[in-house]
Amino acid sequence: MLRIYDTRAGHVETIEAGRAVRMYTCGPTVHRPAHVGNLRTFVLTDVIRRVMERQRVRVVACRNITDVGHLADESGVDKVAAQARAEGRSPREPAREHEQAFVADTAALNLRPPEHAPRASEHVDLMIELVAELVEQGHAYTVPDGGVFFDVRTFPSYGEISGNQLDALRPAHRIEAVDPRKRHHADWALWKPGDGELTWDSPWGRGFPGWHVECSAMSLRFLGPRIDLHTGGIDLRFPHHENERAQSDAVTGHEVVRHWVHGEHLLFDGRKMAKSTGNVVLLSDVVAAGLDPLAVRLAFLEHRYRAQLNLTWDTLRAADRTVRRWRTRVAEWSESVSAPMATAYAERVESALDDDLDTPSALRVLRELERDESVAPGAKFETFLHLDQVLALDLASDIGKPRVLPPGAAELLEARERARKAGDFAASDLLRDELADIGVRVSDTAEGQVWS
């Protein structure tokens, strides 16, 4: 069974799966395109799903779309509305466009679509019901202007995910004074008064739900009161997931989520990917650079999900070369005599994946198999395709395609042939390595060099 690091428990735990596992993932806020840093979390969720499905466990996944006013910019204005205003459009128009782009990106990365993908804007009624129940149970309180706040002191175990103790929490450094409407500075808004297109009528007046409410309301609606796995980026651990846990557990009276799993930050060229630093890279930028989008997936798999990843263009180019080389190898092996899968190698890869998703070790085993001349090509073919059910790198996509040299390869082959004729075998070996880097394997025969 899959063993994975549970953030709340603080150690690796075994996922005790029955016939089905219910998994919730905090989805994108569609006020702008998702960059590759955002996408890392969703690749993590997909790998978890594929590993569990390999173990014949059905996964029921829910991933929301945040398309209403939950996130505010520094001026306190909703980000979706602010972006739409800047573009001179209705807030719903850019939200739908960014949502469609996000779905296209997930498809390009071979992410299995979730069974449920609810939009927050279409389920505000669920959020109002949840807030009303929390007020009735004494976990929330109303204020004169029509706002509603969660009373954090009614939830004694607050802070178990992030390790933040309630009595040690202080107001955020950017807040000059504690909101006088709050009973405790760590209380958060469940309903905010307001007017405009992204607002709704409620028992407390017109307004919109607080950011944290949507995940509680929609996860409980679509997955029920017992959720096996909740995934998200490490930046959501506090306060979002702490607040979500408090809301869900308070309204149900029990621990809703069994395991909390978080993926670490992605850096690009050593800096956090952000608009302010000017290093935002979209998946479309990767494709425009002539790289396969699945090179991004492989680059993620080359690192542990719990470790920060410093992505660079060199890293992506190297991953692109590996993806293309493996596809070429699989196409070559497909023409060989059929042979049983290399079980020992497959078991080592699967064992690494079960061990807290140790994808770097799994990939090292695959490279070892690729080089192992004692394993029949047909066995390599069966093993790579079997494991690609989890890796999802489309390794069979070159089967049946005519073999065409990649750009620059013909010139390298000619240079190598001249080096061999001149007896410069050191140069010949270097050129062989260069060709291997772009996916061309060269062998020397009595008739001269041949390539594949």
- Paired tokens of 394: 């489309």
Contact 57, 125 (CB under 8 A): no
> Which H, E and C letters describe 70-100, residue by residue?
CCECCCCCEHHHHHHHHHCCCCHHHHHHHHH
What is d(CA 209, CA 193) in angstroms, rounded to the nearest whole number? 9
Q: Which helix (H) or strand (E) holds 130?
A: helix 124-137
- Tokens 């093993």 belong to which residue? 383
Distances in whole angstroms, Cα of residue 386 to Cα of each of 82, 128, 225, 390, 447: 47, 47, 35, 8, 36
What is d(CA 331, CA 354) in angstroms, rounded to the nearest whole number? 28
Q: How many residues does the chain have?
A: 452
Secondary structure (DSSP) of 12-58: EEE----SEEEEEE---BTTS--BHHHHHHHHHHHHHHHHHHHTT-E
What is d(CA 43, CA 266) in angstroms, rounded to the nearest whole number? 12
What is d(CA 439, CA 324) in angstroms, rounded to the nearest whole number? 6
Strands 448-451 and 309-311: unpaired
Closest alpha carbon to 364 in 385, 387, 386, 382: 387
240: annotated binding-site residue?
Answer: yes
What is d(CA 3, CA 295) in angstroms, rounded to the nearest whole number? 26
272: annotated binding-site residue?
Answer: no
CA angle 376, 381, 387 (to 5 degrees): 125
Cβ neighbours of 157 (radius 10 Å): 13
- List phi, psi (to 5°) of 49: -60, -45
CA angle 277, 313, 63 (to 5 degrees): 70
Extract the runs of DSSP E, i.e. beta strands, from 304-447.
Answer: 309-311, 442-445
- List phi, psi (to 5°) of 406: -70, 160
C-alpha 81 chain-centroid distance? 26
62: annotated binding-site residue?
Answer: no
Residue list for the binding site for ATP: 275
User: Which residues are annotated as part of the binding site?
Assistant: 26, 215, 240, 244, 275
Residue stretches of the annotated binding site for Zn(2+): 26, 215, 240, 244
